[in-house]
Structure 1
Amino acid sequence: MLMSDILKEVGRGKRGARDLTYEEARAAATAIINGDASQAQIGAFLMAQRIKMESVDELKAFVDVLRSSAFRSPVSEGLDCAGPYDGRTTTFMATLATAFLLASAGLPVTLHGTAPLPPKWGVTLPDVLREMGVDTTEAPERLASSARSIEYGGVKFVPAEASCPPLGRLRPIREELGLRTILNTAEKLIDYSESPYLVFGVFHNTVFDRMAQLIQRLEYRKALIVQGPQGSEDVYIDRPTRTYRIDGGEAKLHVIDPEAYGLDTPLPSAKDTVWSASDQLQITEQVLRGEAHPAFVNQVMLSGAVRLELAGRVDSVEEGIYTCKALLDSGKPWHLYCHWRVSALAVRC
């Protein structure tokens, strides 16, 4: 099916457009991701999909084609943390500190991301790594397959545009559009470590059902869709967090309330406070050293406990909280972070 024919189907406006079949969507995704579609066609398709709203078949087609274009390396029994590639602007990125906590508990974690993208243009994981002195922006041709990711002690970071080059090629048109597109969802599900467990952040609860159907079809063993701060996979610490838990082919709404675990804590900063990459790194390190405001420590502990329970490493969230607190008190996550940072700097030299 030609791209021009596909555009006729999705570009008839809110009422006239129809969802593509999986095969049609895969043809469109292949043309876009392989560079066979023109810039005008790519822009038209992305805008038409935004107006129509993507179906599960269309999303899965884009995920499948991106996966086929990516360098993926399995990590046994690990957890994939799929946060927003457009970053964070006014909230703490708890998932980075949580990764070192989880790895200290024996659960391998994969993080991934790119330089900031629209619509938020927020601080992303590569921005924070750059604050550490770790450059993740090398051109893909300079990265040998074994060095596409930074991995040490159970924490793996994947620079997405190096490990899935089509994402880099599509960046200019996404920046020009300045809007959320189907790629904002699909890129987070490439699953670079072929993980059996997933935590996936969403911004609006209206997408819960659709994302649950998609993730069920992607055949993760267990997954948690989280309506976290700024569409992230982190849980709130000052109010309940809505989640969808996917387990055994079923998806169920589950609300995680920090008050139920005695962890609800007011945040120390105003909601409109802008976080820089330096701020993110500073608080991450303070949490791992046990020196941060209790709200941030508790947010990391609760996020960690929920993820440990999801992956079957503890029998309950309560047990997970005790486990996370003991680990933080021991200093093990901080020491792992220090060694990981040294390893990452050595890899990039």
Structure 2
Amino acid sequence: MDIKQIIKEIGRGKLHARHLDLDTATTLYRAILADEVDDLSLGAILIALRIKGEGEEELLGFYRALEAFLPQWPELPHTVVIPSYNGARRQANCTPLLALLLNKLGLNVFLHSIHRDPTRITTVDILDAMGIHPASDTPRALQQLRDNGLTLMTIDTLCPPLAKQLDLRWHLGLRNSAHTLAKLISPFPAQAAVRLTSVSHPEYLPKVTQFFQDIKGKALVSNGCEGEVYLNPQRPSAIQFVDNEGGEAMEIVPRGMPAQTPLAGNKEIATTVAWTRQVLEQQCPVPQPLREQLMSCLVACGRCASLTDAKNWLTKQGY
């Protein structure tokens, strides 16, 4: 592998850089994860990718390299995988609420997250205040999922090499390809669990949906909220469903209306925890955008045959 030539190809700026082919992308990212690329070259590669954006073959190749560094778990029925790598910047982080509601509705939920972010309130911060702590290792996480239908892992436990890539943000001042990849990973077979993922920029939507089509995975893709996967209660987006039958992505939920119900008063941990508990205990209604996201998960997991069935079932459950 000629690192100098790779940098030359991808480092010509947004208008003139070329995307790497699948095999080269796989080989490159495998070397990066194995810590075989020197720091100067790695910085140049990450900045070049940041400027030009990952191509579809690059994204798939990076993921193929990453799979070798992930645990391989057996298939569990009705499972949703939720990534959480941004946290709350302006408004309350609803990812814990989404995960806990799905679990309460009988789905298995695997939640993976960064452990800290000094600039935001993370999902781990909120769940820790609710008495839910990250699993200490991979076997324990899988056992928790089997026993309770819910587990939380931080990326430094789930995939240390990827965690190292994520932490480079604090040295470079910019996010890198690891932040895109972290929102795509799953320890389950590609065709098994339903993955929730979000995009922040419109040009990534076709790339991400194509990625899931390429791996023949199930996914619900939307514009999230501040980088998290839950629908923004104030500016909800449509949800695209990619099944594992090789068909085109379809809009399972159209763009809806902003929530008309009370939300958490601010992003602070105590306020978010109190509001989350009120919604879970049915003392406060689920915001409609999140309710529609619950419905789409029930359909994608096969628990309900249609959105109408899911809506009726949610109503019977008190949500």
TM-score by length of 1: 0.80
Deviations 1:104-158 (A, max 9, x none): 333212111112459xx4322222222234554x9xxxx4541256534211222
Of the candidates 272, 288, 300, which is equivalent to residue 310 of structure 1?
A: 300
Work out the CA distance in 2 between the residues paired with 1:299 and 1:92.
Answer: 15
Match of 1:126 in 2: 124
Aligned to 2:212: 215
Please provide the CA RMSD for this pair: 2.7
Q: AA paired with 2:310? A: G
Contact kept in structure 1, 2:80 and 2:301, CA below 8 Å = no
What are the residue-to-residue correspondences of 1:281-300 with 2, within 5 Å?
Answer: 281-292=273-284, 294=285, 296-300=286-290
**Equivalent residue for 2:309?**
319
Bigger drift between 235-244 and 17-26 goes to 235-244
Question: Residue 233 in 1 paired to residue 225 in 2?
Answer: no
Cα distance in structure 2, aligned partners of 1:32 and 1:107: 35
Q: How far is the alpha carbon of 1:215 from its aligned partner?
A: 1.2
Kept in 2, the 8 Å contact 1:112–1:159? The answer is yes
CA contact (8 A) 1:95 1:234 kept: yes
CA, structure 1 residues 288+268, in 2 after alignment: closer, same or farther (shift >3 Å)? closer
The residue identity in structure 2 corresponding to 1:275 is K
Note the 1:7-18 alignment, pairs <5 A. Answer: 7-18=7-18
Deviation, structure 1 residue 258: 4.3
- CA offset at residue 100 of structure 1? 3.1
For the 8 Å contact 1:91–1:275, the answer to whether it is kept is yes
Q: What is aligned with 1:86?
A: 86
Whether 1:199 aligns to 2:196 is: yes
- Whether the 8 Å contact between 1:88 and 1:230 is mirrored in structure 2 is yes
Distance (whole Å) between structure 2 residues aligned to residue 178 and residue 74 of structure 1: 38
The separation in 2 between residues aligned to 1:157 and 1:34, in whole angstroms, is: 25
The residue that corresponds to 2:30 in the other structure is 30
Q: Which amino acid aligns with 1:183?
A: A
Q: Distance in 2 between matches of 1:133 and 1:84?
A: 18
- Which amino acid in structure 2 is aligned with residue 250 of structure 1? E
Q: Work out whether residues 21 and 58 of structure 1, in 8 Å CA contact, stay in contact via their aligned partners in 2.
A: yes
2:139 counterpart residue number: 146
Secondary structure of the structure 2 residue equivalent to 1:250 = coil
* Alignment counterpart, residue 180 of structure 2, candidates 173, 185, 208: 185
Aligned to 2:268: 276
Any unmatched runs of 5+ in structure 1? 330-349
Which string of whole-angstrom CA distances, capped at 9 and with x for unpartnered residues, describes residues 259-291 of structure 1?
Answer: 5xxx9415556xxx7513333322221211122
Taking the aligned partners of 2:202 and 2:278, their CA distance within structure 1 comes to: 32
Q: Cα–Cα, structure 1 residues 18 and 257, in superposed 2: closer, same or farther, change >3 Å?
A: closer
Structure 2: stretches of 5+ with no match in the other structure: none
- Provide the secondary structure at the position in 2 that maps to 1:205: coil
Q: Which moved more, 1:6-15 or 1:89-98?
A: 89-98
Residues 133, 76 of structure 1: CA spacing in aligned structure 2 closer, same or farther, 3 A cutoff? closer
Cα distance, 1:117–1:206 mapped onto 2, change above 3 Å: farther
Q: Distance in 1 between matches of 2:259 and 2:306?
A: 18
Displacement of 1:328 in angstroms is: 4.3
| Separation of aligned partners in 2, 1:3 and 1:204 | 29
- For the Cα contact (< 8 Å) 2:196–2:220, is it kept in 1? yes
Aligned 8 A contact 1:235 1:241 in 2: yes
| Residues 276, 10 of structure 1: alpha-carbon distance in 2 compared, 3 angstrom cutoff | same
Q: Does 1:49 align with 2:49?
A: yes
| Amino acid corresponding to residue 140 of structure 2 in structure 1 | A
Question: Does the residue aligned with 1:15 lie in a helix, a strand or coil?
Answer: coil
Deviation at 1:30, TM superposition (A): 1.2
Q: Which has the higher contact order (CA 8 A, sep 6+)?
A: 1
Query: Which residue does 2:152 correspond to in 1?
Result: 157
Alignment correspondent of 1:333? none
Secondary structure of 2:74's counterpart equals coil
1:335 maps to: none
